[in-house]
Amino acid sequence: MRTLIIYPIFLLIICSSSVHGIDRPNNQQPLQIDANSIQHDDAKAVTKFIGNVVLIRGDLTLKGDSLILNQTEDGLSFGKVKGSPAVFQTRRTVENGWVKGQASELDYDERNSMFLLKGNARLVRLENGKIKEEVSGDELSYNSDSEIYKAITEPGETRTRMTVIPKPSNE
């Protein structure tokens, strides 16, 4: 009888804590990182993750072959993801909007909400699961707070390109 009473209370606590977690900004949510191996230097607050790395914090997901992650005293993270490709995905301020990016190397910095993609960089903006814009170049930067992105191409390399998908006509 006691377990029948405790079980609903336990479920209520779990559900209420997950609902409250939705309202928290990403940097206030738990940081979960999975990898094949981890090497941590506590004195420098630097951790190296190697092999099939997946970082999740709220609506942010980073994936790559390796990640060198630094953390500030107040828990903000910044680091470098390398992969073939290194990828990220994060929610936009627009309802049902997402941004996905990929490159050979990805610098991620929560302190200023920046992503810097280097080497065969590609950024896609989605709304309701459909591509709205796609940008590619040698180097892309994206600020997830302001939702401003920039594309740079080195002279002599492939040019930057932006593709804007037209809205479907209402027929």
Number of folded domains that form the chain: 1
pLDDT digits (tens, 9 = 90+) for 112-136: 999 999 999 999 999 888 999 999 8
Is the separation of the CB atoms in 115 and 108 below 8 Å?
yes
Is 22 part of a structural domain of the chain? no
pLDDT bin (cut points 50, 70, 90) of residue 60 is very high
Q: Lowest-pLDDT range, 13-17, 28-32, 98-102, 142-146? A: 13-17
State which residues form the domain around 76: 30-164
Average pLDDT in the chain: 82
Which of 141, 132, 123 lies closest to 165 in space, CA to CA?
Answer: 132
Given a cut of 90, whether residue 83 has pLDDT beyond it is: yes
What is the value of pTM for the model shown? 0.75
Does residue 65 have a pLDDT over 80?
A: yes
Predicted local distance difference test score (pLDDT) of residue 68: 98
Polymer length of the chain? 171
Average the pLDDT over 38-48 and give the result.
92
Is residue 13 included in any domain, yes or no?
no
Q: Which of 70, 129, 122 is nearest to 100 (CA)?
A: 122
Residue 20 covered by a domain: no
DSSP assignment string, 91-124: E-SSTTEEEEEEEEEEEEETTTTEEEEEEEEEEE
In a domain, 117, yes or no: yes
CATH number at residue 50: 2.60.450.10
Identify whether 169 is part of a domain.
Answer: no
Within a domain: residue 25? no
